[in-house]
Amino acid sequence: MTENSLKNYIRCFNLNRWKHPASFFDLTPNVTVGKIFPDHFKGQIVERKTERYFFIKNNNQCVGIIFDMNTDLHWLILKKYRGQGYLYNALQNVIFPFLKSEDRILQRCTAATQEGREYLLKLGFEQQGNEYFLSLKKIKKFDSSQIKRNLLTHIQLEDIRSKLHRITNDLRIIGNQLECSHGKTYGLNNLAETTFNKALDIGLDCRNIE
C-alpha cells in the first residue's frame, strides 16, 4: 500500500465517495473501522480479500489512516496534523485495545526510516532484528459499548436477501453441472443450502425492523 493510495482512501472517506464496496462502523467518535473490497484485480480471476483500515478523525474529518495487515500496520497521518498526538492516542487508547479484544496477543510492525523505528519504540514495541513486536497482553481492555454500527435499512436488507437467493440458485446449478460431469458436487449443494438459510435469517431481520 503506497502513501498515495492511503491519501486517496482518506480523500474518499472525507468525500464519502467510493469506487469499490466499502462498509464502516465507529469504534469511538474519533476512530472508524472500514472494510474495503479493493478493485486492484478488476477483470481478473484471482482471489480477492477484504482489507481493513482504521480511519482516525478530528471533528468528523479523517486526518489519518492505518492499514491493518494483521502481521504489520501501515499508517499515514496527513502532514498538517502530524505531531499532535492523533496517531499515538488512537493506537494506545482505541486500536491496540480493540485488536486485543479480537484475541490478537502480539502485534508485529516494521519501519523503513529511523524516525519510524523511534516511533515504534515510543509506542512500546521491542526490537527483534529488523522487526518490532508489541505484546498486547497488558493493553487495557476495549470498551465495546463505544461501538456504533450503521444499521442497514429494510430495503438494503431485502436487497442483500435477494442477492443471496440468486447466489443460492447459481450454486445449485453449478453443483448439478459438476455432478453430471464429475459425479460429485464438491460440496456446492451444502453451500447452497447454507446460503439459503442465511437469506431466511436476513428475512426475519427485515420483519423485525418493520
Per-residue pLDDT tens digits of the chain, which is 210 residues long: 789 999 999 999 999 999 888 999 999 999 999 999 886 555 565 566 889 999 999 999 999 999 999 999 999 999 999 999 999 999 999 999 999 999 999 999 999 899 999 999 999 999 999 899 999 998 999 999 999 998 888 888 889 989 999 999 999 999 999 999 999 999 999 999 999 898 888 877 666 655
pLDDT at 20: 85
Tell me yes or no: is domain 3-147 CATH 3.20.20.140: no
Beta bridge partners of 149: 25
Q: From CA 167, how far away is CA 195, in angstroms rounded?
A: 8
Give a three-class secondary structure readout of the chain: CCHHHHHHHHHHHHHCCCCCCEEEEEEECCEEEEEECCCCCCCCCCCCCCEEEEEEEECCEEEEEEEECCCCEEEEECHHHCCCCHHHHHHHHHHHHHHHHCCCCEEEECCCCHHHHHHHHHHCCEEECCEEEEECCCCCCCCHHHCEECCCCHHHHHHHHHHHHHHHHHHHHHHHHHHHHHCCCCCHHHHHHHHHHHHHHHHHHHHHCC
Can you read off the three cell numbers belonging to residue 13?
A: 472517506
Q: Distance between alpha carbon 154 and the CA centroid of its chain, in Å?
A: 24
Residues near 192 by beta carbon (within 8 Å), at least 6 away in sequence = 168, 169, 171, 172, 175
